[in-house]
Amino acid sequence: MIDAEVQAEILKHLGQLPLAKQQRLLDFARALAESAPQGVPGNNLLDLCGILPAEDAEEMMQAIEEGCERIDRNDW
């Protein structure tokens, strides 16, 4: 979705740039678009709610408790 005010401002400045700088701006915009994190809207994940069996969830929680957030002072 493009904000009309932002688009107008970009076009205003774009029109004042020489061709070489317009190309740089295009390259930058492409790089930004490619680096944007791709994710899933939270609402799409609601279908997954409750599909993990309680036993599996408990096993995962126990493994996390046993294996995470422990400091091994000799590891450094």
What are the φ/ψ torsions at residue 73 (nearest 5 degrees)? -65, -20
Mean pLDDT over all residues of the chain? 88
Q: Which residue has the higher pLDDT, 37 or 12?
A: 12
Pair 34, 45: CB distance under 8 Å:
no
Overall pTM > 0.75: no
pLDDT given at position 44: 87
- Looking at residues 10-26, what average pLDDT do you find? 94
Give the tens place of pLDDT for each residue, 23-54: 999 999 999 988 877 788 888 888 888 899 99
User: How far is CA 51 from each of CA 22, 41, 56, rounded to the nearest angstrom?
Assistant: 50, 18, 10
Side chain identity, residue 56: D
Position 12 pLDDT exceeds 90: yes
Q: Can you give the residue ranges of every domain in the chain? A: 4-35
Find, among 28, 4, 7, the residue nearest to 15 by Cα: 7
